Structure 1
Amino acid sequence: MKRKKVRSAEPPKYQPVGIVDIGSNSVRLVVYDGPNRAPAPIFNEKIACGLGRGLALTGRLADDAIERTLKALRRFKLLCEQIGVHKLYAVATAASREAENGPEFIEQAREALGHRIDILSGKKEAELAALGVLSGIPDADGVVGDLGGGSLELVEIRGGAIRSGVTVPLGALRLMDVSGNSIDKARKFIDETFAGLDILDKLKGRSFYSVGGTWRNLARLHMAQTHYPLHVLHNYRMSRTAARSIAALVSGLSAETVRDIPAIQKSRADTLPYGALVLDRLLKRSKAQDVIISAFGLREGLIFSKLEKDKRKRDPLIVACIDFARRYARSVEHEFELCDWTGQLFRGNGLKETPAQERLRHAACFLADIGWRTHPNYRGERSLSLISQASFAGVDHPGRIFLALTVFFRYEGPLSDVAPKNFMRLIDDDVIPRARLIAAAQRLAYVMSGAMPGMLPQISLSYEGNKSLILSIPGRLEPLLGERVERAFNELALLAGRVPLTRVHD
């Protein structure tokens, strides 16, 4: 039977950027939607090849690991062609740069991938990992630690800039080799290595930003143990005590036991106890205040390093939320107007907000209309799920929940009592009234503007003394006023602690 020809779809409106990362433990291809300030992965695949296994003992990459890696690279080459990768970067780290047969392997790898492969120095690897953290957590202050199979990169970040950094031979695979698979011997080796590291003294009272799949799995386990409702690893915070507790626990488990823990990836079973041991000893030595998980690392740092300076300065959260508005809202121009319109509540003798609060309000306004295509009964629930689980950067978990709840209340009603309590417990009680207030302003804006631009700039909100909230509208727009507007305005005034007063002017 002759196949019916399918009409081709419109080509994607992005220019995919691919990163091939040849690490000591795994080889990964990540394709992002473009060279953006807030790049979103559209394809992500990791293959555990174990290039660094046995390297500390033999000084060479094993033949079987090389073959697995070359096979993965041939697959990645075809996938990049299929996806239409516009720009490809390929890098190799500790195992490739340290092995006797590393140069020979890189030549084979270049042929398999059909692309140049840069061997990163330990210093460059640390720098890119730190850039990745800064791209996803711009206000990060502390020390970044990127744990791979062959090495651990440590670099200080302060004031949005990279300071000093070091590379130490404490990768999980290397530790297994040099200790003869003995946790006790590995502990001694780690402690001796950390003893003379001045960079760890700079962590006292500051945050340790952990990068790498090994430590992300520890965070997954901690989430499961504490029944944490938000399964987003980026910017997940563990207190120093909690992080040491979970790390010490896992470092004492056998690989077989680790493999049976549902929250942990089975491919990490052999290396996780050693990676956990590194974290435990680092926290003991450094007196860090807490551990913050960064889902952004070397690969995101590489993209960030290629951006123009003006792009690097942009706010990753706002950039991502504007992109959401372009994709899902009825009018992104309306959402820009909404940012300004809701800001009237915080001007003059009105309510107050800090720059950080203003930033989150703007983000919430860009996200306010993303549920409009969903069935009305599920718009709040859908928006809550989408925002809380989105791959946003530049926002911590309480901020993420604030955004999700604000848009939830925008759809369900600002006085709704059906918001999920497991999410509500992640933010301070005094933040929830602010989410309700902004949601009420959004609801009022939408019933008057129809979600289209041009109307809100003609309608104003202002305060009269300490008692009244004034809604001013020109006479020619008076027919807009009705029961829905009255109800929405009354709710807004109630949450603002003012008496509603509508004025029609010439």
Structure 2
Amino acid sequence: MELSTANPAVPVSGSRRAVIDVGTNSVKLLVADVQNGMALPVAEASHQTRLGEGLFRLHLLQPQAIARTVDAVVDFVQQSRSLGAEALRIYATSAAREAANRNELSDALKAATGLALEIISAEMEAEWAFLGVLSHPDFAGQDFLLLDLGGGSAQFIVGAAGHARFQASYPLGCVRWLEKTHLSDPPTPQEKEDCGHRLRTFMAAAVQPAIQPHLSPALQWVGIGGTATILGRMELGMTGFEREKLENLRLPAEALRQWRDRLWAMPLARRRQVPGLPPNRADVILMGTAIFAEVMELFHFKELRLSTRGPRFGALLTL
């Protein structure tokens, strides 16, 4: 778990809110004070629970994954209440959307916390991601392509002048692609090439035709989610979480390629020692960097800008 606490002081009455994001790979917490339409983070944390483990083969959430996820949510509900959050939202994304037994997760969470789970649509996830990024004033009025890469899906949103003019979700998540790709340790050069070829083929058929008409020369590329944050942390040699430094970073295309190539050449044990890469993310980071690198090549981006304000910020601001 990673936890950062920024401002635990007693909030103005009714202004402190919390959201818990139940994702395919991890459960994330955001507690924040809302003032003048802005979310001021108080605490953020993450538990990796791999809710999507085995899902993409069987279309069922596994009992152990559900149990791990419930434990994480219970912990975060307790933290939210101890910090004085007066409103709390729990929502789930790709894994719960696709699981035939999603009700088992909802029922287990209801029994453990007394709270209802919102299983949100891909469209809602993309909308919240866009709102979250817009909560940073730097993006007001800017044109950007947002890639929200998760464990089970990837959301692409084209924003212009504060409005989303295109959004779509694709089955392009890190855990999903890792589970259907059999890799050696470390992966062989042929395995790396085969994975890149499959990603390029999928994106050229499904992603590029939909997005290309909405792009412009002035458009920035913005990444959110675990892979984007980890790329920034590795580039900066950052072992903690410093939002301002991450959001000020511009990761050049060549640096992104180098990180992909370095990580794919390392055995898992060595990847677990890379500063900025959480050891429990050392397996899925391979797919994360491969996906980001292929998007960069596909649309000829020169750099990647990071945002640490994803769907949780949008979910909190609309709560």
- Specify the TM-score bucket, using the shorter chain as the normaliser: 0.7 to 0.9
**Is 1:17 matched with 2:30?**
no
**Contact 1:223 1:231 survives alignment (8 Å):** no
**Is 1:210 matched with 2:220?**
no
**1:184 CA displacement:** 4.2
**Contact 1:204 1:289 survives alignment (8 Å):** no
- Tell me how large the CA RMSD over aligned residues is: 2.3
Task: Return the letter of the residue paired with 1:57.
Answer: R
Alpha-carbon displacement from aligned partner over 1:134-181 (angstroms, at most 9, x marks no partner): 121323312100111111111110111011111111111101111124
Task: Return the letter of the residue paired with 1:265.
Answer: P
**Is 1:220 matched with 2:229?**
no
Match runs of 1:64-143 below 5 Å: 64-136=64-136, 137-143=139-145
**Contact 2:38 2:317 survives alignment (8 Å):** no
Q: TM-score, normalised by structure 1?
A: 0.55
**Is 1:304 matched with 2:303?**
no
CA distance in 1, matches of 2:141, 2:287: 30
| Residue in structure 2 matching 1:279, options 292, 314, 317 | 292
**1:28 CA displacement:** 1.6
**Is 1:169 matched with 2:171?**
yes
Uncovered stretches (5+) of structure 2, i.e. residues with no partner: 1-8, 184-190
**Contact 2:55 2:61 survives alignment (8 Å):** yes
**Which position in structure 1 is the counterpart of 2:255?**
242
Does the residue aligned with 1:301 lie in a helix, a strand or coil? helix
Match runs of 1:320-331 below 5 Å: none
**Which position in structure 2 is the counterpart of 1:187?**
196
**Contact 1:221 1:263 survives alignment (8 Å):** yes
CA distance in 2, matches of 1:39, 1:152: 24
CA distance in 1, matches of 2:36, 2:94: 28
**Which position in structure 1 is the counterpart of 2:60?**
60
Residues 1:108 and 1:17: Cα distance change in structure 2 (over 3 Å):
same
Task: Return the letter of the residue paired with 1:120.
Answer: I
Identity of aligned residues (%): 27
**1:36 CA displacement:** 4.7
Task: Return the letter of the residue paired with 2:195.
Answer: A
**Contact 1:258 1:264 survives alignment (8 Å):** yes
Residues 1:178 and 1:90: Cα distance change in structure 2 (over 3 Å):
same
Uncovered stretches (5+) of structure 1, i.e. residues with no partner: 1-9, 307-506
Residues 1:251 and 1:304: Cα distance change in structure 2 (over 3 Å):
farther
CA distance in 1, matches of 2:66, 2:104: 10
Residues 1:230 and 1:96: Cα distance change in structure 2 (over 3 Å):
closer
Task: Return the letter of the residue paired with 1:195.
Answer: A
Task: Return the letter of the residue paired with 2:143.
Answer: D
**1:253 CA displacement:** 3.2
Does the residue aligned with 2:66 lie in a helix, a strand or coil? helix
**1:47 CA displacement:** 0.8
**Contact 2:10 2:84 survives alignment (8 Å):** no
Q: TM-score, normalised by structure 2?
A: 0.85
**Which position in structure 2 is the counterpart of 1:332?**
none
Does the residue aligned with 1:40 lie in a helix, a strand or coil? strand
Residues 1:250 and 1:11: Cα distance change in structure 2 (over 3 Å):
closer
Judging by fraction of residues, say which structure has more strand: 2
**Which position in structure 2 is the counterpart of 1:491?**
none
**Contact 1:18 1:31 survives alignment (8 Å):** yes
Task: Return the letter of the residue paired with 1:258.
Answer: R
**1:262 CA displacement:** 1.8
**1:130 CA displacement:** 1.3
**Contact 1:234 1:296 survives alignment (8 Å):** no
Does the residue aligned with 1:283 lie in a helix, a strand or coil? helix
Q: Which moved more, 1:85-94 or 1:174-183?
A: 174-183
CA distance in 2, matches of 1:29, 1:247: 28
CA distance in 1, matches of 2:276, 2:10: 38
Does the residue aligned with 1:233 lie in a helix, a strand or coil? helix
**Contact 2:39 2:317 survives alignment (8 Å):** no
CA distance in 2, matches of 1:300, 1:121: 17
CA distance in 1, matches of 2:158, 2:264: 26
CA distance in 2, matches of 1:189, 1:200: 19
Residues 1:75 and 1:36: Cα distance change in structure 2 (over 3 Å):
farther
Does the residue aligned with 2:175 lie in a helix, a strand or coil? helix
Task: Return the letter of the residue paired with 1:290.
Answer: E
Task: Return the letter of the residue paired with 2:12.
Answer: K
Does the residue aligned with 2:196 lie in a helix, a strand or coil? helix
**Contact 2:94 2:153 survives alignment (8 Å):** yes
- Highest Rg: 1 or 2? 1
**Contact 1:33 1:41 survives alignment (8 Å):** yes
Judging by fraction of residues, say which structure has more helix: 1
Residues 1:31 and 1:156: Cα distance change in structure 2 (over 3 Å):
same
Task: Return the letter of the residue paired with 1:42.
Answer: V
CA distance in 1, matches of 2:140, 2:111: 38
CA distance in 2, matches of 1:11, 1:96: 34
CA distance in 2, matches of 1:27, 1:120: 15
**1:204 CA displacement:** 6.0
Residues 1:61 and 1:186: Cα distance change in structure 2 (over 3 Å):
farther
CA distance in 2, matches of 1:192, 1:135: 34
When the two structures are aligned, how many residues end up with a matched partner? Answer: 294
Q: Which moved more, 1:278-287 or 1:51-60?
A: 51-60
**1:190 CA displacement:** 1.3
